[in-house]
């Protein structure tokens, strides 16, 4: 994405307004780095089409936590909620609604009259629907455990009703829903740590009743999940992958009593993140939104405490990026595209240089619609493949369409992974 010519001016304003102490992350001076490092993140968050409507909740939450007010984003989220309410019911997943509650309830002044409060009761119902689905479908929620953790976190922070007994039952660290195949999901585990930490604090503070055994279980769960998160730390300091690192940092911020200081070099992780930012890795607004709070030493547990939120109080405007001039001469590349279910179907596809995985799938569908037809939905992470050849992904069966390159799973989505000449691409019917 081409940067707006106006953004550097906004950036200089932000730099002048951000308190100097906010440049200290993990209580370590950055020395060779400045707060201008966050400007590419802000550019991504405020200019992308994936930061509109209900999807703006992620961005709004992140900006509020670090002290940036954006009334345009607030209006977008509120309007989307109103439009959903005009339907028969809120047409949102439980996790989406939880993010709305968190974003609209975050860092509010006492005189604000946002309508998020009644949404908590809606979230209570959706959370119970998740629990009911797990009872009837072999422990599988309607969505996933990342969203389930968001539900518990939002309900905990905003005094919603939830059962500590159910939390203890379903958040056992060995639960299959913390894994994607055999791989532990770092961002899911991190969100669970944040949720469980909130529940733990509520029990200790007497805000919710629970037995000593309940508290002991929650402590054990947090400790175990933190160990699993640290086990996924890479040599360069990233935790899991570049996109899960931000939430992993949040989880480790709030759980320092569960690991030794020698087990995590926060400054090393920070350097790795800053390097990834400079290389443009956080080009999706949700990715930028998830890493930004950690850079400022903030976590989602700060959302209902305006004192703990970013002390900056300033406005930014959304500037649309300047249109990209078309190239005078476009080059073309050829890739091999395969769909694998019970049988394997392959074709050679020619697309423009710079195309993404989704472009390849669209071109293959034009070549042979019977074999390569597919559907997708737009999410905050961009397009998500829902079916191929009419075979739909199903959370109850824990099935999905896996994206691979040269036989290896991709960490980027179908709308963001840029393909290369001669590459072997595959969508595979898989379980997690």
Binding residues for cyanocob(III)alamin: 143-147, 187, 241, 290, 384-385, 401-403, 410, 432
Q: What is the DSSP string of 15-47?
A: HHHS-GGGG-BTTB--TT--GGGGHHHHHHHHH
* CA distance readout (Å), 328 to 111, 283, 325, 331, 355: 55, 25, 9, 10, 17
Q: What SS3 class is residue 428? A: strand
Annotated binding site: 143-147, 187, 241, 290, 384-385, 401-403, 410, 432
Token pair, residue 255, equals: 């759980």
Residue environment code for 29-51, b if the CB has 16+ CB neighbours within 10 A, otherwise e: ebeeeebeebbbbbbbbbbbebb
d(CA 27, CA 12): 24
| Alpha carbon 231 to its chain's center | 21
DSSP classification of residue 284:
S
Pairing of strands 314-315, 68-69: parallel
Q: In the block, which residue shows the tokens 């201008």?
A: 36
Residue environment code for 242-262, b if the CB has 16+ CB neighbours within 10 A, otherwise e: bbbbbbbbbbbbbbeebeeee
- Closest listed residue to residue 249, CA positions, set 284, 220, 274: 274
- Closest listed residue to residue 350, CA positions, set 301, 409, 287, 422: 422
Sign of CA dihedral 274, 279, 280, 286: negative
Token pair, residue 151, equals: 């539900």
Residue environment code for 393-408, b if the CB has 16+ CB neighbours within 10 A, otherwise e: bebeebebbbbbbeee
């Amino acid at each position: 994405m081409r940067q707006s010519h106006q953004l550097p001016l906004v950036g200089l304003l932000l730099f002048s307004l951000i308190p100097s102490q906010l440049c200290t992350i993990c209580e370590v001076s950055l020395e060779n780095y400045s707060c201008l490092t966050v400007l590419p993140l802000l550019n991504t968050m405020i200019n992308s089409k994936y930061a509109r409507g209900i999807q703006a909740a992620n961005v709004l939450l992140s900006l509020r936590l670090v002290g940036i007010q954006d009334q345009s984003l607030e209006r977008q989220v509120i309007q989307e909620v109103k439009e959903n309410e005009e339907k028969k019911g809120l047409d949102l997943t439980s996790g989406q609604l939880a993010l709305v509650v968190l974003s609209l309830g975050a860092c509010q002044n006492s005189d604000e009259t946002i309508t998020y409060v009644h949404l908590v009761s809606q979230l209570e119902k959706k959370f119970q629907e998740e629990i009911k689905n797990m009872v009837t479908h072999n422990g599988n929620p309607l969505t996933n455990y990342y969203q389930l953790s968001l539900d518990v976190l939002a309900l905990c922070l905003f005094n919603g009703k939830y059962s500590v007994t159910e939390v203890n039952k379903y958040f056992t660290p060995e639960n299959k829903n913390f894994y994607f195949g055999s791989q532990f999901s770092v961002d899911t585990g991190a969100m669970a740590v944040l949720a469980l930490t909130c529940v733990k604090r509520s029990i200790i503070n007497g805000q919710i009743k629970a037995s000593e055994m309940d508290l002991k279980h929650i402590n054990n769960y947090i400790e175990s999940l933190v160990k699993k998160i640290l086990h996924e730390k890479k040599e360069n300091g990233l935790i899991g992958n570049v996109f899960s690192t931000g939430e992993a940092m949040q989880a480790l911020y709030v759980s320092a009593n569960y690991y030794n200081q020698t087990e995590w070099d926060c400054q090393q992780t920070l350097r790795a993140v800053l390097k990834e930012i400079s290389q443009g890795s956080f080009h999706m607004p949700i990715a930028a939104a998830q890493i930004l709070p950690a850079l400022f030493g903030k976590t989602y547990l700060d959302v209902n405490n305006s004192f703990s939120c970013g002390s900056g109080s300033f406005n930014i405007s959304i500037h649309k990026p300047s249109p990209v001039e078309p190239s005078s001469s476009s080059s073309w590349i050829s890739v091999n595209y395969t769909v694998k279910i019970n049988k394997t179907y392959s074709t050679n596809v020619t697309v423009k240089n710079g195309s993404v995985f989704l472009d390849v799938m669209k071109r293959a569908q034009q070549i042979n619609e019977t074999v390569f037809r597919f559907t997708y939905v737009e999410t905050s992470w961009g397009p998500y493949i829902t079916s191929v050849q009419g075979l739909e992904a199903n959370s109850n069966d824990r099935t999905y369409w896996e994206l691979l390159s040269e036989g290896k799973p991709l960490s980027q989505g179908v709308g963001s992974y840029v393909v290369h000449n001669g590459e072997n691409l595959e969508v595979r019917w898989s379980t997690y």
